[in-house]
Structure 1
């Protein structure tokens, strides 16, 4: 198994509370990632340590131009910590791909600073593809989040 990680920071011209609320809603991820075409089976629970979480299935659609290649259902567990302004998502994807995203929101002049760290585990043969997709989605999400929330600020 291969492992990889990378970070990205960006600014959104919206208050931290609005950014946090948007990112804490699983349905907000429709279109926030260019791959996600559906969010379903959303449920809330409490883990063995007493921490609340939201679990859901996101469906990623992979295409080559206009041709649909396959739909990839991924299991997502989201833990939100409003007090620390942190959102952690653990993703289990078919093909033994695992992704953890830790997003920290900080008030900043004119809006919110977001710092995200993504950690990946995947079979070595998939490393280039998985890393490329994860990084591409991260950068797209930053731009789309900025566009969405700046338009409503």
Structure 2
């Protein structure tokens, strides 16, 4: 399957503990990822959280498609308060697979977050999936900053 990796690094004024807590909660991804409109069936299995999420795509402003995806989330707080990691995988019915990782590192009173996505798609879908994922990645940084940044 064709694949690519996208990486986006940004600063958040909140400490790693707060960024980690926010990203470790599945319901916080609603609005954090602009396409995500619902999270349901959240359950813990071993050290992983599994849930179903709904991405809403609009085509030409008229047609709506709800893409129901399976998500696995693994939160590793071992190195807090200095750093933490959240990773997992997304499985789409269109056979699009996305591994994701948030590396959270302390930076003074705030955090540096590196958001890495690894996409694998059936032939012909990689360009579209990568453009959507890149847009979501950049929006996620803006929304996370707006949610967690505090005035200095």
Equivalenced residues, count: 148
Preserved CA contact (<8 Å) 1:42 1:57: yes
Cα distance in 1 for partners of 2:25, 2:151 equals: 17
Preserved CA contact (<8 Å) 1:104 1:115: yes
Give the 3-state SS of the residue equivalent to 1:107 in structure 2.
Answer: strand
Partner of 1:6: 6
TM-score by length of 1: 0.92
TM-score by length of 2: 0.92
Give the 3-state SS of the residue equivalent to 1:21 in structure 2.
Answer: helix
Cα distance in 1 for partners of 2:75, 2:141 equals: 18
Question: Cα RMSD (Å) of the superposition?
Answer: 1.5
Partner of 1:33: 33
Partner of 1:16: 16
Matched, 1:63 2:58: yes
Preserved CA contact (<8 Å) 2:75 2:86: yes
| Consecutive unaligned residues in structure 2, runs of 5 or more | none
Matched, 1:144 2:139: no
Q: Following superposition, which runs of at least 4 residues in structure 1 exceed 6 angstroms of deviation?
A: none
Partner of 2:89: 90
Preserved CA contact (<8 Å) 2:14 2:150: no
Cα distance in 2 for partners of 1:64, 1:146 equals: 28
Cα distance in 1 for partners of 2:38, 2:12 equals: 25
Cα distance in 1 for partners of 2:28, 2:110 equals: 19
Matched, 1:113 2:112: yes
Q: Quote how far apart the aligned CAs of 1:67 are.
A: 2.2
Q: Quote how far apart the aligned CAs of 1:150 are.
A: 1.2
Q: Quote how far apart the aligned CAs of 1:78 are.
A: 0.4
Preserved CA contact (<8 Å) 1:61 1:70: yes
Partner of 1:49: none
Preserved CA contact (<8 Å) 2:13 2:148: yes
| Consecutive unaligned residues in structure 1, runs of 5 or more | 47-51
